[in-house]
Each structure stands twice: as C-alpha cells, then as structure tokens.
Amino acid sequence: MTAVRNNLAASRFEMYQDGTLAGFVQYTMHGSQIWMHYTQMAWHVEDPSISGVLIANAMLEAYRRRLAVMPFCPAVRRYVATHPLFVELIPAEHRERFAEEGPVRMTRVEALAEEELAPGRTVPLMLPGEDGVLWEPQPGRRRGRKARLRRAAAAAAAAAASVPAQRAS
C-alpha cells in the first residue's frame, strides 16, 4: 500500500510504501508561499516514476491550500515543466526563474486541452483521510483530471467552510 502524508512537524510531504518511508519533499512555509527545497527517494524504490506521485501530491496540496509554489528543487521544476497545469502555482514574476527549459507560459485552458489530447495521463487525487493519509491509490478506479480537480476544489471549499473564522485581536 502507498500513502502520502504531509508531516507538518518535519515540514515535508512523505510517501510510504508498505509502511516504509519511500521518499519525501522537504519544504518551508513563507507566508502564503511554500518553498520546495529538495526531493529525496529511498534507495529501495525501484520505480523512478514514484517520485512523480509524491511531487504531484505536494503540488495538489499547494493548490488545495491556495499556496504559491517556489520550486527550488530540480525534480519539482522538471515535474512542473511536464505538467503545465501547475505552472499557475508559481508566481508570475518567478516563472522564468524556475522554468526548466526556458520560460513556461502555458495557460490553464491550454493545459486542459493538452490533457484531453493525452488520455491515460493521470495525477492522483489527494484527499485528507484518517491518520493524516492524503492519498491512497485505488486499483481499478480511473477518472479524468477535470473531475478530480472539481472534487478537490469542492473538498477544499467544504474544509474551508468547516473551519471557524479567526478574529483579529
């Protein structure tokens, strides 16, 4: 079983495979920005694409929490370059700085159109669950990216609505 968790105490997204830490993305919070510093995978992880699942969950968490992403980690920058839907999470004034191969200027509409042309490309949905588990794969269940993003946005809105507003003292 694979699970991704946001370990707030250690400031990192952790991926576990069969109860063993398989990798993590280290980050720090700076106001409404999340700075992703580096990604590290365990030596026993044989599938190189598993780091993409970890980074995808970190990016979806940033999207859900409406955080700007500063991808200092080269692996995160490569992931964003190949998944342009997440480019919007990088502040516009920093996109050229973090572009993997030149400036990335694809819009959300272009990215969604590209996704429609490439069926089978999926990003796992990260949903909070028991014990802090953010995502667990469910074999045999594949849905489209738009539906996942709608469900993620609805879950984020429901979570935001359930949190009481804090009053300034």
**What tens digit of pLDDT does each residue of 5-50 get?**
999 999 999 999 888 888 999 999 999 999 999 888 888 877 777 8
Q: 80-114, pLDDT tens digit by residue?
A: 888 888 989 999 898 888 876 444 444 444 455 45
CATH code, 147: 3.40.630.30
167 belongs to a structural domain: no
Domain that holds residue 33: 2-162
169 belongs to a structural domain: no
Q: 46-61, pLDDT tens digit by residue?
A: 777 788 899 999 999 9
Structure tokens at 74: 């080269």
8 belongs to a structural domain: yes
73 belongs to a structural domain: yes
144 belongs to a structural domain: yes
What is the spatial distance between Cα 2 and Cα 56, in angstroms, rounded to a whole number?
14
CB atoms within 10 A of CB 75: 19
Domain count, the chain: 1
What is the spatial distance between Cα 98 and Cα 4, in angstroms, rounded to a whole number?
25
Does the pTM surpass 0.85? The reply is no
The half-sphere exposure of 18 on its side-chain side, counting CA atoms within 13 A, is 2
Is the pLDDT score of 63 beyond 80? yes
